[in-house]
Amino acid sequence: MVGTGGSVDTFSVWDYVVFAGTILVSAGIGLFQAIRGRKETSSAEFLLGGRQMTAIPVAMSLTASFMSGITVIGTPAEAYNFGAAFWLFGFAYAIMSTVTAEVFVPFFYRQGITSAYEYLERRFNRLIRIIGTSMYIVQTILYTGLVIYAPALALNQITGLNLWGVLVATGAVCIIYCTLGGLKAVIWTDVMQMVTMLAGFVAVIARGAVLQGGLTNIWKDAGDGGRLEAFDFDPDPLKRHTFWTIVIGGSVMWTSIYAINQSQVQRFISCKSLGHAKMSLYLNMVGLWVTVSLAVFSGLTMFSIYKNCDPLTNDDVKSSDQLLPYLVMDILADYPGIPGLFVAAAYSGTLSTVSSSINALVAVTVEDFIYPVFKNLTQRQITIMNMGLSVLFGALCIGMAGVASAMGSVLQAALSIFGMISGPLLGLYLLGMFSRTANSIGGLSGMIIGLVLTLWVGIGGQLYPPTSDKTNPLPVSTAGCNNTMSQDFTTPAPVTLTTQPEYRPALADSWYSLSYLYFSLLGVLTTIVAGLVVSSVTGGCKQEKLSSDLFVQKSDLIIFNCGRSKDVDLIEKHPLDFYMSDEMSSTNKLNVHTEKVTRF
């Protein structure tokens, strides 16, 4: 009987057919884009889609890029264990989208860049650009490995799919369509994968509503179980999720992900006009709202079904990340192909994130490391190099997924990575974009200090996790379990740091308990303050006058654009002259090779 515990069915033949079909369609899109654009093999076409993408597919790709398998599996489990507070990220998404669209998009579009880190050299120096790019590469490879490994592990233990075969297959498919199709393949595949993810959530909610007698009963059960108490206005920064940690900390964290992360910047600058680029961010905001709403409601549906028999406490699963896959096999096994759709949804999230990462890693490597050294490469050499780098980074991400199997609490690590590394980087960008006092010494010093602090608190929080009074898990029950033997899993469950170590230092209940959502805010504030102080001491106020193009201008901000003409000068670099940005940066001049006026 559904919701009473015990073993569940595994995949049927039709489930494998649906799952494999989704993977093959993803690979097919890459092949189609490669054949369709075989005569358009420039670096601009491969890395930026020829700067001719429109708002809707780019918006769906922006949403899918960080709605990974971790989101598909982890967000419903979050709502099941901690309630609907995750819905408050809707406020953070709105703030992030507005700031990114009205400040960063016009600024980057005006710069005419391919790599987001080109700006760091123009504003500061080449060393800071190299460090920023290296931080991004390390962060992205680590995060992508976790994204591949975590959902594969959870789904392997529920469905019986071979873990390592799935890991390699996931990476291989991403390599194929990234290598052959470039950014256009990634974006159009993300569109298909976004639809698949949403369909998976809808299937779970619809079947749950039938079993529980309607959505109203699901909502009532969630309320009775304390899952709807989302608005906690406690200002304590040590509490994991409150209104303030999510709205303030979450806004800064997501801004660091969307505003300066190459995976996202590469998408909105691939749009054919500034208007399309901005619109893609606002449509993305709606996409994020829909995705998080469906994910959270899937978690509430899961609680309604298991309110009297928690599978984790009943030892039916080994970790909370297996709850949703367990639910799918419990309630949808009688519908051949539907569990396969859910697994396809989870892996669609993973595929979109991995493909986005690979394409962005290629872009920053070529732009920041190769072009400045090898400036006379032919177009054919560039194309072959782009494809070779896609294979290399895909292999590294698969390798990192293998390393992640020995890392312990991989999901919490994945949640914290962007805060620890992107926070100081966002602080550096804001320092450069808004302050003429900041110099290279101050910028570098501020970023290093910010990075040290965020790594200190982040790693400390992993080693000594916060106690339950800070994380606030909600009560569950096993009163309705039938106590049957749980499924015999063939792969060990992921190690989670739910038990406290024997020794806890004094900082464990204060500094190390800081909410992970504040990591990014800590990095931003530390970098800006330390950067300004060091710059002031080292002659920042006396440095030679810098070009105004290196700073945010009034025309970049929405409040100064009301009633103005919508004719916007957009800077576009010739695809064979990308490397010229490195020569221009040495003199801090933005000489334009090609200009065009675009109406939107």
Secondary structure, 3-state, 103-114: HHHHHHHHHCCC
| Model pLDDT, residue 212 | 92
Integer Cα distance of 274 and 283 in angstroms: 14
Q: Taking the CB of residue 482, how many other CB atoms lie within 10 A of it?
A: 11
pTM, two decimal places: 0.81
Select the highest-mean-pLDDT range: 23-37, 145-159, 304-318, 330-344: 304-318
CA 420 to chain centre: 14
237-264 mean pLDDT = 90
Q: Is the pLDDT of residue 285 over 60?
A: yes
Q: Is the pLDDT of residue 573 over 60?
A: no
Alpha-carbon distances of 159 from 7, 329, 341, rounded to whole Å: 11, 8, 13
CA distance 355 to 178: 6
Any idea which residue has 């409040």 for tokens? 559
For the chain, what is the mean pLDDT? 78
Please give the Cα distance from 287 to 26 (Å, whole number).
Answer: 20
For residue 233, with 0-12 CB atoms within 10 Å meaning exposed, 13-18 middle and 19 or more buried, which class applies? exposed
Residue 445 has pLDDT above 90, yes or no: yes
Residues 335-389: tens digit of each pLDDT: 888 888 777 777 766 766 777 777 778 878 887 888 888 878 887 888 788 788 8
Average pLDDT over residues 314-331: 85
Per-residue CA distances from 597 to 106, 163, 273, 556, 594 (Å) = 14, 52, 10, 16, 10
**pLDDT tens by residue, 66-123:** 666 777 788 898 899 999 999 999 999 999 999 999 999 888 888 877 778 889 989 9
pLDDT bin (cut points 50, 70, 90) of residue 42 is very low
